[in-house]
Every structure is written in C-alpha cells, then in structure tokens.
Structure 1
Amino acid sequence: MTEQVMAAIDGSTFSEGVCDAAAWASLALGAPLTFLHVNDNHVPPEERNLSGNLLAGGRERLLEELARLDEQRAKVAQEQGRLMLQAARERAIQDGVAEPGARQRNGTLVETLEELQGDMRLLVIGKRGEGAEQASGHLGSNLERVVRTLHRPILMVPASFEAPKKVMLAFDGSPTTRKGVEMLAKSPLFAGIPVHVVIIGAETGDNRSQLDWALATLRDAGHEAEGAIRAGEVEATLRAYKDENAIDLLVMGAYGHSRIRHLLVGSTTTEMLRRASVPILLLR
C-alpha cells in the first residue's frame, strides 16, 4: 500500500484539529489521507465483578444480560465510529482532499497503530482523547504510548489547527536532528515556510558550527532560515523562544544524544507535549 497520512480520530474536541492538520499534510505531501477510528471494546472490570456477590442462578442470568448489553454497546460504538469517520471525510473534502479514506478497527489504539505503521508516511493524532479532553493540563496517556511505540513521524495537534507560517526545529547536532534538518529542507510539507533552528546549550565552537551547517542546508534549499543558541532548561527555553518569535509549529527529533535526548525519552517529553499550544512534529 502507498504510504499515506493517517489520522486517528475519536469523539474528542481535538478531532477537528486532527482533521484539518491531516488534510493540510495530505495536500502538501501529495499523499493519500486515511482516517482511523479504533473501537476499544474492553469491558470495565467493575461490571464483571458485579456477579461475584450473587447466588449461582442470579449470576448466570446477570452474565447473560451483561453479554447482551456488551453486544449492544459494541454495535453502538461501531455506528458512532462510522459516523465520526463520515464527518471526518466530509471535513477533509471541504479542506480540499479529493478522496479521503476511512478505516475502522477493533482493539486498542496503540496496538492498532503499531500494526498499521507500515502504511504510514505520517501519523496525525490529537493531544488528548475523549477520555481526558476536559483536563486542560493533562496529556493523553495514549499519546505518550504512541510516541514511545511508533517509528514513524507523528504530528501532535491541539484542539484547532491552522497551516503554519513559522516553524522551529529543536536541534542538537545528533544524527536524528541532522536528518530532521535535511527533511525540513526538502519536504514539500514546509515549502515556503521560514524555519528557526534553536540549539539549547552553551555558545561553543561546536554548537556554532552545527548551527551554521543547519542554516546553510536550509538556505541552500530555498528556505528563509534563522538560528539561535540559547542557554537554559530545555522545555522552558524552547517555549520562550517560540513565544518570542510567534512560532506556530515545533519540530523535534524523537531520539538524540545530548540534552534534547532527555527531552524526548524522559519526563521533559511529557512536559513539552503537555504545555504545547501549537502542533509538534516528532521525527523518528
């Protein structure tokens, strides 16, 4: 199957931003777009435990009733998913995508995405799912697991999305972030968009050399590019730079070898994603 933009949607308010971001990426990359909805039919254990307090006859009747309710619940969930996918396709068509696809699966989101990642060029996913959308300071647990599991680029989207006008790359000179620079330079996703390259660290000869290489690579590809070396705590310093320069999309490598590595394999990853008010593209 042709590698495609895949967008995971659910019943949360983040799904609208996911739809718009996925349509933007699909059009910019010239890649097919497929929406994915996953029904998790896991029954909460407390429902199963109700039967433990009943006599044998009552327990049997209750289990039969629970089985019937499970079947009804599964049918309702499937129909809800079908309607969500239909609405997502209609929104993407309005955004200019000619023939968006749709897939509905049963299982867990993380396992399903892991199984389908061979079909992905890019995964678009919301910051939180429907189970956590009311907690403004909370990061969806599914998102954290997806980031740690998948080996494809992941675009995390907040509740709304607009095509970016300025992009910032968190850079540390590692192979992953150098590949990120090269990807940014040639990707149609960022054609014509100014790029800011930011190194968190001391003003050393090595850091200056790495930054000069990144800026030259981007400028040679026709990008307007600016760079900075900033000292400080990674998440707070990147966030401050974003605010100062009106950055509306962040790009980060998922693995590195220095301070940025801790950003994306430790607690700072969660903090960066949790505080994000703009989309973040995580490179693998």
Structure 2
Amino acid sequence: MKHVIACIDESRIAHAVTQYATWSAQRLQTPLTLFHVLDELRYPVNSDMTGNIGLGSRESLLEELAELDERRNKLALEHGHHLLEAAKSHAEELGATDVHLRQRHGDLAESLGTLEDELRLLVIGLHGTKTCDSDRLGHQIETIVRNVRRPILAVPEQYKAPTNVMLAFDGSDVSRKGVKMLAESPLFVGMPIHVVMVGAATADANASVEAAVSHLQEYRHQVSYEIRAGEVESTLRDIQQERNIDMLIMGAYSHSKLRQLFMGSTTSKVLSRAKTPVLLLR
C-alpha cells in the first residue's frame, strides 16, 4: 500500500511537516510514514583516518578517534529516533492511526528514491535547519524535486488546513495531469478550485482552460478560472494573495512558460517566498 511520507529533521518546520502530512494521510486514507535520514557527510558510517595521522603517532589515538566517531553516530541515531517518536506522538494527537517510522543513513534524495514504489505523496519543509530564519530554501529541495518522480508537497513553517486550492495551468501534459489528479483525488474533495493560466488570453488558451474547468466540474468541483498576462511567479503570487488561496499546485519541469519555474531564479522565488503549501506535480 502506498504511503504519505514526511521528511522529519530537527528544524522547527518539522512540526508543520507532521501536521500537513497527517492532514494529507487522513484525506487520502493512506498510512503515514515519518522518515529521518542521517546525512552521510555529517555522520559517515566508517571513518578512515589513517591518512590524517602522521608517522610516529600512537595507534591508540586512531582507536580513540574511531571510538569517538562511533559514539557520535550512535548518539545521532538515538536523536533521530527521539525526533521520530515525538513526531509520531504529534501525528497521533491529530488523529493519525497508522503511523510508521523509518530512519536511514545516507543521502536524503537517494534514500527517497528507493521508496518511490510505496510513495503516494512526499511532504517536505520549504526550509531546513539552517534556513528557517531566512527566505532561502532548504539546500536539498531542488535535488529532491528533480529526482523524486512523485507528487511533492513543500510546506511552510506555519500550518493551516487547506480549504481551497489554485492550479497553475498551462495546457502542458503535466498540467493536464494536474487537472486529472485534482478531479479524482480525495485530497481535494469539497474544496473550491481556481484555475489560472499566465499569458495572453488567446482563443486556444481559453479553449484549453475551459476544457480543464469542464473536466473538474464533471467531478462536482466548484471551479473558477482566469487568464492573466504577466510574469509567471509574481502573477501567481498576486492572484493567490487576492483570493486568499491556501495551496498552490503546479507542474515541475513543464515544457512551457512555467518551465522557468524550475530552470532558474524563478524557482527559488516561488518556493522561498511561499507562505502556503506548494504541491509539485511530475
């Protein structure tokens, strides 16, 4: 059975990650897995320090350093376990009933890649332990988005249960997939949906958006839409603020105007300035 998987670390944003992941798992009626990875660069499994000790140094010094590394890694594992247990308790307080814990040692993106077969939705924080007090993104987000081929919900530090969503639609295969997912997913049942296309309101653009709206309405969604000219990131942000939208949904790496979101500085602008969750589709 596929799971909602939430990436848990020691940052403040892990609290919101747990909340959004629990909300998602409950609406999807899916098990929740809380996942913590010990960075292999900070906590190498085996340290070979023979090249760092000069000739004549005592062998006991090497042994002592190795013991210190082993102890450090053991403490990191225990710390990770406590983080997961605290997140589990929080999730259960919010009503989660099927919660699993996993901890691995290695690279986060690579570790997530091995779980794709059981991954329905990945929930990650927009900021990490070193970026919570800034507009900078967590340093692993771009790598994760590029490598994990499942929907990714990137969330801010403050939790608010979503009550409406906005789909950034451009007529591409990815955005049409987004329409299908929105229409059929229990994640969005009962939520008003606003479909937005950024660009010129040509006949083709209108026809494309209206087809998307029609498909959503077939599944009894309350749908509104608009086409607005402008720069993609700022236009999406303006519309979201004007309409008090709780969640932005957009495709990653689409071959259209929205492609710039994941090919340059606009990517960082959208995610780093996000005050609400952003659901990325592949």
2:122 counterpart of 1:132: no
Deviates more, 1:261-270 or 1:240-249: 261-270
Say if 1:100 and 1:44 are closer, same or farther in 2 by CA, change over 3 A: closer
Give the letter for the 2:20 counterpart.
A
| 1:40 counterpart residue number | 39
* TM-score for both structures, normalised by structure 2: 0.94
Give the match's secondary structure for 1:236: helix
Query: Number of paired residues?
Result: 280
* Superposition misfits of 4+ residues, deviation over 6 angstroms: 47-51
CA distance in 2, matches of 1:266, 1:61: 51
How far apart are residue 132 of structure 1 and its match? Answer: 2.7
CA distance in 2, matches of 1:159, 1:83: 20
Deviates more, 1:250-259 or 1:57-66: 57-66
Aligned partner (choices 143, 158, 161) of residue 145 of structure 1: 143
- 8 Å CA contact 1:144, 1:270 repeated in 2: no
CA distance in 1, matches of 2:9, 2:43: 19
Cα RMSD (Å): 2.0
2:102 counterpart of 1:103: yes
Q: Deviations over 1:53-91 (max 9, x none)?
A: x64233744433321111111011100110111011111
CA distance in 1, matches of 2:9, 2:180: 33
Give the letter for the 1:179 counterpart.
K
Q: Deviations over 1:102-121 (max 9, x none)?
A: 01111111110011111100
Identity %: 47
Give the match's secondary structure for 1:162: coil
- 8 Å CA contact 2:37, 2:107 repeated in 1: yes
Give the match's secondary structure for 2:253: coil
2:10 counterpart of 1:11: yes
Higher helix share: 1
* TM-score for both structures, normalised by structure 1: 0.93
| 1:280 counterpart residue number | 278
2:166 counterpart of 1:168: yes
Q: Structure 1: which 5+ residue stretches go unaligned? A: none
CA distance in 1, matches of 2:41, 2:56: 25
- 8 Å CA contact 2:50, 2:62 repeated in 1: no
Q: Structure 2: which 5+ residue stretches go unaligned? A: none
Give the match's secondary structure for 1:141: coil
CA distance in 2, matches of 1:219, 1:48: 62
CA distance in 1, matches of 2:239, 2:48: 51
Give the letter for the 1:150 counterpart.
V
How far apart are residue 160 of structure 1 and its match? Answer: 2.1
| 1:122 counterpart residue number | 121
| 1:246 counterpart residue number | 244
